[in-house]
Amino acid sequence: MSKPNPIEIQKHLSGVDYPASRDDLIAAAQGNGADDSTLEALRGIPDREYEGPSGVSKEIGG
């Protein structure tokens, strides 16, 4: 499975209040209609607090 586009991931994370935990990000993405590949990518990042969207993109981008 290919990695989802970081821009698409950020669209699904709109409205997130940072700092946010991995679970917060997953819940927000689900609420914004994220597809399975986006949710899988978010589940694969370390379980910690993220200070903003760039930190999330960095983790997903590897």
DSSP tag of 33: T
**What H or E segment, with its residue span, contains residue 21?**
strand 20-21
Rounded to whole angstroms, the maximal C-alpha distance in the chain is: 29
Nearest to 61 by CA among 21, 19, 4: 4
In a domain, 1, yes or no: no
- Residues 49 and 21: beta-carbon distance below 8 Å: yes
Q: What local confidence, expressed as pLDDT, does residue 4 receive?
A: 80
How many domains does one find in the chain?
1
Q: Decide if pLDDT at 13 tops 90.
A: yes
In a domain, 15, yes or no: yes
The rounded mean pLDDT for the chain is 93
In a domain, 30, yes or no: yes
Residue 40's domain comprises 6-61
In a domain, 23, yes or no: yes
Average the pLDDT over 12-37 and give the result.
97
In a domain, 48, yes or no: yes
